[in-house]
Amino acid sequence: MRILLPVYALLLSVFAAGVLLVVKTGIDDYVSSHSLAGMQIEPPDGWSVRPYQPVDGHLITQTADDPDELIGTTAQILDMFDMPTGGLHEGAAKTFSRGTEMIALRLQTAPHTPKRIYLMDRLGRKTNEEADDPNAVFATVAGLPLVAHPRLSYVADDVAPRPVNYRYFTMVIGDQTVDDVLEVSLLTNSSDAALVAVLNNLDMRNLNARIPTPDPRVIPAAGVLTRDALPLSDQPPRPTPAYRAMELMAAGEVFDAPWQDALTRVRHGEITSWDGLQARYPQIDTIPYALLEVLDDGSRISTARYYATILSNSGRAWSGHEFHVLWTIAEAGTTQADVAEYLAGEFEIAPEVIALAQRLPVAAGVAAPETQVVQSGTAPTVGLRSAGNCVLDNGVRRCVIGTN
């Protein structure tokens, strides 16, 4: 009997280990299939994915990792990404990266919040809470709007919001006035094309099934439809005029009147485009070129021709040679070759005129760098453009989101 006791003990240990293994496997399978943390999302081609780390958020937002230095909207966003993933309302965060480009994705359940009844509701008017800006919708994902938030960090007691050089997007699956919902947040320093590539890999049917009351608006076959025309840019967007003005002021740049005032207004978001500047300051003949650069929307050829037209009609006392160069720049189809003799240094040409000429294509068929045309201040393209995998079905274009 004494000999058999160790054998029984060993058998019991093996049995217990087997039971624990089965239970653990079952729990792991349940977590993988039901929890947000266990959800697998494939990265786009050429990208990698890993669990989100606080350092990722600081790299994207270009902020220090000292909590005492973080305030305003940026601090609130990073706090949300850093929240624990356990508890009653679970969540998960992942980081997609390619070189210095990063997209942080946060999935978080949020509790049911009954709708508040405002006085305006009783009067039959729409509240500000419901008055959404249609231009803020970057895309729809399976029929749900993905909202682009202003590239600003609101800080208490500041005269104006602080411009930031990252982008933040949110989407809600479900109706919070009815039941718990799922919040989807993206924080990125990357391009529109990369962002849509990540969105295409979201399994919206799976995500919708994880909330108590699925959202009837979710139509997985609708795919990802973008507000802007395809193809989307594969380059990170340029800093906003307000951000560039802030950098210029931080560098100690000081202009003569009234242009220092104009720079301050750009920094505060009161002026966002060349048209806005011209409307407030009609006499532009003395505008510093550095201020033109702040308001440049990135379309080098288009803005060169536009500025040349404006400057040639500004009333400034241009020489005959300068006037000829300005009008040549303004004409469609001209290149640097058309004004080569004036760029060679044999004529006295104002530096701002030379700088505009250097934005033209070097010659026919040889483009100058940074020629992507995205006009600032123009109306967005009507409708949404599909960026998913699309087929024609009886004359209807149908696009689907990839599933995991």
380: its two tokens:
């967005």
Question: Cα–Cα distance between 171 and 369 in angstroms, integer?
Answer: 35
Q: Indicate if 41 and 122 belong to the same structural domain.
A: yes
Instruction: Give the residue carrying structure tokens 């395809």.
Output: 230
The residue from 186, 202, 226 where one domain ends is 226
Q: Radius of gyration of the chain from Cα atoms? A: 28
In this structure, the answer to whether residues 278 and 212 fall within a common structural domain is no
Residues 246 and 217 in one domain: no
Task: State the residue range of the domain holding 182.
Answer: 35-226
3-class DSSP assignment, residue 400: strand
Assess if residue 337 is contained within a domain. Answer: yes
Task: Tell me whether the omega of the peptide bond preceding residue 163 falls within 30 degrees of 0, making it cis.
Answer: no
* Measured distance CA(220)–CA(213) in Å, rounded: 17
Q: 99 and 63 share a domain? A: yes
- The verdict on 72 and 189 lying in the same domain is yes
Task: Judge if 173 and 274 occupy the same domain.
Answer: no
Give the count of beta carbons closer than 10 Å to the beta carbon of residue 254: 9
- DSSP at 243: H
Instruction: Kindly state whether residue 221 falls inside one of the protein's structural domains.
Output: yes
- If asked whether residues 147 and 245 sit together in one domain, one would say no
- Is residue 235 a part of any domain in this protein? no
Tokens read off for 241: 């005029």
Whether residues 163 and 278 share a domain: the answer is no
**Does the pTM exceed 0.75?**
no
Measured CA to CA in angstroms, residue 324 lies from 270, 327, 349, 354 at distances of: 34, 5, 11, 12
> Cα angle vertex 226, ends 223, 231, to 5°?
105
* Residue 48: both structure tokens together: 């990698």
Task: Specify if 398 maps to a domain.
Answer: no
Contacts of 364 (CB under 8 A, 6+ apart): 335, 337
Please give the tally of structural domains in the chain. 2
**Do 163 and 208 fall into the same domain?**
yes
Give the contacts of 183 (CB within 8 A, at least 6 positions apart): 106, 107, 108, 109, 110, 170, 171, 172, 173
If asked whether residues 252 and 196 sit together in one domain, one would say no
Residue 107 and residue 159 in one domain: yes
Looking at the fold, whether 183 and 247 belong to one and the same domain comes out as no
Q: What is the DSSP letter of 108?
A: E
Please check whether residue 385 lies inside any domain of the structure. no
Residue 65 lies in a domain: yes
* Residue at 4 is within a domain: no
Q: What is the DSSP string of 171-226?
A: EEES-TTTS-EEEEEEEESS-HHHHHHHHHT--HHHHHHTSSS--TT--GGG-EEE
User: pLDDT 10s digit of each residue in the chain, 404 long?
Assistant: 556 556 556 666 666 655 555 445 544 444 445 577 778 899 999 999 999 999 999 999 999 876 656 678 999 999 999 876 555 567 899 999 999 999 999 999 988 888 765 444 544 444 444 445 667 999 999 999 999 999 999 988 888 899 999 999 999 999 999 999 999 999 999 999 999 999 999 999 999 999 999 999 999 999 999 999 889 999 999 999 999 999 999 999 999 999 999 999 999 999 998 778 888 987 776 788 889 889 887 777 878 888 888 888 888 889 999 999 999 998 888 999 999 999 888 899 999 999 999 999 887 655 554 433 323 233 222 345 544 444 433 333 334 444 44
Distance CA(167)–CA(189), nearest Å, equals 6
Residue 200 belongs to some domain of the structure: yes
